[in-house]
Chain A
Amino acid sequence: MIAEFGYGITLVSFLVAVYSVVAAVYGATKKSASLVESSRRGMLLTFPLITIAAGSLIYLLVNNHFEVAFVYEVTSRSMPTYLKITAWWGGQAGSLLFWSWLLAAFASAVTIRKWDRDIEFLPWVVMVCSVTLVFFLGMVVFYENPFTRYWLVNGNVEPHMFQPALATIFTPQDGNGLNPLLRHPGMVIHPPMLYLGFVSYVIPYAFAMAALITGRTDDRWIRLTRRWSLWAWLFLSFGLVLGGRWAYDVLGWGGYWGWDPVEIAAFMPWLTGTAFLHSVMIQEKRGMLKHWNMILVILTYALVIFGTFLTRSGVLSSVHAFANSPIGPLFMAFVSATLIASIALVIYRWPQLRGETEMKSMLSREALFLLNNLLFMSVLVICFWGVMFPLVSELFTGQKVTVGPPFYERATAPIFAGLMFLMGVAPLSAWGHSTVKTLGRAMWKSALIALVVTVILFITYTMNYIALIGFFLIALVIFVTAQEFWRGARARQRSQNENFFSALSRLMGRNRRRYGGYIIHISMMLMAIGILGMEAFQTSTQGELAKGDALDISGYTVKYRELASWDDTGKGVNFTRATMDIYKNGIYLGQLHPRIDYYFDSQQNMTIPGNRSTFKDDLYIILVDWQPTTAMGATFKIFVNPLVNWLWVGSLLFLVGIIFAAWPDRDPAEEISRRGISLSATQPSAAD
């Protein structure tokens, strides 16, 4: 009953979304305000409708309605209620509904704003959001229906939405259970974060398309969606970090990022999104790069859909899986169609998108920002091609190949180094004009201190020259950025007669985006310390130990004390937990408990490492194997992961920085600061 109801509501919201598209286009072309308003209301209606559909699905999930195929696949009786709810996005069909729900929420939020003089954008924004919604809901309704139930037809169990003739409903005793890897708290939050990021990028894209269609190609669309793109970037970045933390905590291979195609699928829109974040500033301040910003936002949108497609269609395991899955070709068609239509629009509006000013110097901030964009695009090209090549190879030669971490690491490391160098230089360069001399004067102190730090590290820590280059760049960026805070606050202190700290806080408060950006730069450098530590200095060892035996690694001694194994029938899990004594240079530090959890329902293992984390290094122990009968010997793999903790500290600071930059404030100063600069640069083209 509930299943039919949920399906019916989903179908209705699909139809409403279709209506919104039609009404928006028709209303805009016929200049009918009432039709446009009607399309807007249709858009607004989809949110409560999908909420009801999602509510029915959650009801089915929570109440063990295993006759519903989706419920059977992702839940089981032994799962706690909160996991049954989050199982909503634990499978294909549910996650597509989840995507639609988020999109409806965001699109509604953006359509209830006051439109005033931007009213001409409205129908087209509604149209783009609704088209995307129609696509996702269409897949839910026609191909990946989470409400499909099992029916007993002539003795066979078949999934159908509606009762086939002479069939009775079939209810399995218990569900399959969620993949244990997805029961970790990190995995509970990680997908919604990524999806939030993905979905929020639809909004800037919708406004960009509206600007192209209406011909209002000034930077109004960018100003309207600035916060959206910042929040989108926040969610996407945080989703990526959470994914890394989750991998580190439960995947049990000692790392956080494996250049897996699924990871790269989420990383690619982040790359274009980050490039976009930087290059819109050029357009706002200098009225340049309008074509490029359009292309970036279009690419981001396409990569968002493409990323969902990569992770959802099964194309990664094999091109043949792609051909067999109903949604693969549809995704491909949708991505291609939107991409071609968007690019066609850009070409159509090409003359109107010409820049308003000229570039003055190769070292101006806008030139450096462009270089930054080039580097981000280079990483994107490498990632994209690395993901696509195995598919291309399989398609043309039949040979399956792997493109693994070594490929990406070697190809992208110099580019990341270049990006770090730019992070050190660009904040010092001026809009419009800079010379080697002015840059050198601004930079030499920081460069000198960074060099001193590098020499100290060379003497005390490492002789690995690649790592030293990395540390030099990290130190350079941190000092340059810190100096920017210092100089700004000092200048204000002198001009306003304030004390240093209130000068600093006012300065930051008035230039949220700038100083939030600097905080993000510093946090990126902290993260880089962690990444560098892992890449350059990670060590590992493995061995089979009898009780009382020990393994030595990098000054640590790890002694195997005992192993216990027990069933927790309430949770449906068998735990096998080892106890290890940890010594460092002979001093006892405590115990760690690596363990393996075996889930009865899904018959899968989860490897939980025992981890001792300090700012110097992590000691990370994995229980690989043990002798079940005697419990005498067990095999352990031990990693020492230097500096990796800085990655997590950096990501927390990152969160602070981006919230600082994106926090909505009604302070008019920001508006003025922007105008102050655009006045000094050139007259803005429109009535802005």
Chain B
Amino acid sequence: MKKFLYTFTFIVLLGILFTGAALAQDNLPTDDEVNKVAHDLYCPVCQNTPLDVCPTDACKDWREQIRGMLAEGKTEAQIQQYFVDQFGDRVLAAPPLTTKFNLIIYIIPPLIILAGAIILFRSLKEWTTPKAATASSSEDGTEASPLKDDYLARFEEEAKKQK
């Protein structure tokens, strides 16, 4: 009886051990999970290539490193932080807002575009404000869709005249 108990415990323990191992095997992150993290990281060596598609051996190693970290239960943010600590901000897809300097990449384009828009609308307004002198010289508001029949007729007429 005692012997049976021992055997039973042993088998159960073995069973638990193996299930554990099997579970751990299942827990090893798939390529897709690795790529999901790698997609937002940029290879520190080859420029502008996302880590998930970079074919170099170095990148392969980095992907395995990500797999290992995922298996350890690290989050995507933690993995990103690890790579930033190792290689600097360049591994991120866009400059992070951790420094004031990086702010200017997000501020300057909208400012320039805004300035352009203001210039455009001010000049449009200037142009559309009717001026007595010019109003008479230009055509009166025949809202000519260029394809209106009368226009076409005139066009054809002139075409004939030229021939």
A interface residues (Cβ-Cβ under 8 A, vs B)? 252-254, 258-261, 288, 316-317, 355, 357-362, 367, 370-371, 374, 377-378, 381-382, 385-386, 389-390, 393, 396-397, 399-407, 411, 428, 430-435, 438, 442, 484, 487-488, 491-492, 494-496, 510, 540-544, 605, 607, 624-625, 635, 637, 668-669, 671-673, 675-677, 680-682
Q: Which residues of B contact A494 (CB under 8 A)?
A: 149
Query: Quick check: is B16 within 8 A (CB to CB) of the other chain?
Result: no
Q: Which residues of B contact A371 (CB under 8 A)?
A: 120
Query: Mask for B54-84, Cβ within 8 A of A = 1, else 0?
Result: 0100001000000000000000000000000
Q: Which residues of A contact B88 (CB under 8 A)?
A: 399-400
Tell me how far the C-beta of A352 lies from the nearest C-beta in chain B, rounded to whole angstroms.
18
25 A-B residue contacts at CB 8 Å?
A254-B53, A260-B48, A316-B47, A361-B128, A362-B128, A371-B120, A374-B117, A385-B109, A386-B105, A399-B89, A399-B99, A401-B92, A401-B102, A402-B94, A403-B94, A404-B48, A406-B40, A432-B139, A495-B156, A510-B159, A541-B31, A669-B159, A671-B162, A676-B154, A682-B137
Tell me which residues from 77 to 130 in chain B have a Cβ below 8 Å from any Cβ of chain A. 88-95, 99, 101-102, 104-105, 108-109, 112-113, 116-117, 120, 124, 127-128, 130
Tell me how far the C-beta of B50 lies from the nearest C-beta in chain A, rounded to whole angstroms.
7
Instruction: Kindly state the separation between the CA atoms of A361 and B144 in the bound complex, as whole angstroms.
Output: 13
* Contact A677 to B146, CB < 8 A, known contacts A317-B47, A358-B138, A625-B60: yes
- Contacts A374-B117, A668-B163 supplied; 9 other A-B pairs, CB < 8 Å: A261-B47, A358-B127, A361-B128, A378-B109, A401-B90, A435-B143, A491-B148, A542-B32, A680-B144
Tell me how far the C-beta of B61 lies from the nearest C-beta in chain A, rounded to whole angstroms.
12
Q: Which residues of B contact A400 (CB under 8 A)?
A: 88-90
Instruction: Kindly state the separation between the CA atoms of A233 and B4 in the bound complex, as whole angstroms.
Output: 87
Tell me how far the C-beta of B103 lies from the nearest C-beta in chain A, rounded to whole angstroms.
11
A669 and chain B: residue at smallest CB distance? B159
A682 and chain B: residue at smallest CB distance? B138
Q: How many A-B residue pairs have CB under 8 A?
A: 186
User: Considering only CB atoms and an 8 Å cut-off, how many residues of chain B contact the other chain?
Assistant: 62
A411 touches which one: B101, B104, B109 (CB < 8 A)?
Answer: B109
Query: Quick check: is B134 within 8 A (CB to CB) of the other chain?
Result: yes
Q: Which residues of A contact B134 (CB under 8 A)?
A: 357-358
Instruction: Kindly state the separation between the CA atoms of A355 and B128 in the bound complex, as whole angstroms.
Output: 13
B interface residues (Cβ-Cβ under 8 A, vs A)? 30-32, 35, 40, 42, 47-50, 53, 55, 60, 88-95, 99, 101-102, 104-105, 108-109, 112-113, 116-117, 120, 124, 127-128, 130-131, 134-135, 137-139, 141-149, 151-156, 158-159, 162-163
B32 touches which one: A541, A669, A682 (CB < 8 A)?
Answer: A541
Instruction: Kindly state the separation between the CA atoms of A374 and B124 in the bound complex, as whole angstroms.
Output: 12
A357 and chain B: residue at smallest CB distance? B138
Instruction: Kindly state the separation between the CA atoms of A431 and B148 in the bound complex, as whole angstroms.
Output: 13
- Nearest 3 Cβ contacts at the A-B interface: A359-B127, A253-B53, A542-B31
Tell me how far the C-beta of B106 lies from the nearest C-beta in chain A, rounded to whole angstroms.
9
* Contact A487 to B159, CB < 8 A, known contacts A382-B109, A402-B93: no
* Contact A673 to B162, CB < 8 A, known contacts A370-B124, A540-B35: no
Tell me how far the C-beta of B122 lies from the nearest C-beta in chain A, rounded to whole angstroms.
12
Q: Which residues of A contact B146 (CB under 8 A)?
A: 430-431, 677
Tell me how far the C-beta of B60 lies from the nearest C-beta in chain A, rounded to whole angstroms.
7
Whether A404 lies near B99 (C-beta < 8 A) is no
Instruction: Kindly state the separation between the CA atoms of A484 and B146 in the bound complex, as whole angstroms.
Output: 11
Q: Which residues of A contact B156 (CB under 8 A)?
A: 495-496
Q: Which residues of B contact A370 (CB under 8 A)?
A: 120, 124
* Contact A487 to B90, CB < 8 A, known contacts A316-B47, A605-B55, A669-B159: no
Whether B95 lies near A389 (C-beta < 8 A) is yes
Q: Which residues of B contact A362 (CB under 8 A)?
A: 124, 128
Instruction: Kindly state the separation between the CA atoms of A673 and B43 in the bound complex, as whole angstroms.
Output: 56
Whether B162 lies near A668 (C-beta < 8 A) is yes
Whether B147 lies near A488 (C-beta < 8 A) is yes
Instruction: Kindly state the separation between the CA atoms of A405 and B134 in the bound complex, as whole angstroms.
Output: 49
Whether A401 lies near B95 (C-beta < 8 A) is yes
A411 and chain B: residue at smallest CB distance? B109
* Contact A404 to B50, CB < 8 A, known contacts A361-B128, A495-B152, A540-B35: yes
Tell me how far the C-beta of A633 lies from the nearest C-beta in chain B, rounded to whole angstroms.
12
Tell me how far the C-beta of B40 lies from the nearest C-beta in chain A, rounded to whole angstroms.
8
Tell me how far the C-beta of A261 lies from the nearest C-beta in chain B, rounded to whole angstroms.
7
Tell me how far the C-beta of B152 lies from the nearest C-beta in chain A, rounded to whole angstroms.
6
Whether A385 lies near B108 (C-beta < 8 A) is yes
B163 and chain A: residue at smallest CB distance? A668
Instruction: Kindly state the separation between the CA atoms of A677 and B155 in the bound complex, as whole angstroms.
Output: 9
Whether A252 lies near B55 (C-beta < 8 A) is yes
Q: Which residues of A contact B145 (CB under 8 A)?
A: 428, 430, 438, 442
* Contact A378 to B32, CB < 8 A, known contacts A404-B93, A605-B55, A680-B144: no
Whether A404 lies near B94 (C-beta < 8 A) is yes
Whether B53 lies near A360 (C-beta < 8 A) is no
Whether B90 lies near A402 (C-beta < 8 A) is yes
Whether B113 lies near A635 (C-beta < 8 A) is no
Tell me how far the C-beta of B74 lies from the nearest C-beta in chain A, rounded to whole angstroms.
20
Q: Which residues of B contact A428 (CB under 8 A)?
A: 145
Instruction: Kindly state the separation between the CA atoms of A225 and B114 in the bound complex, as whole angstroms.
Output: 32
B91 touches which one: A389, A402, A405 (CB < 8 A)?
Answer: A402
Q: Which residues of A contact B131 (CB under 8 A)?
A: 358
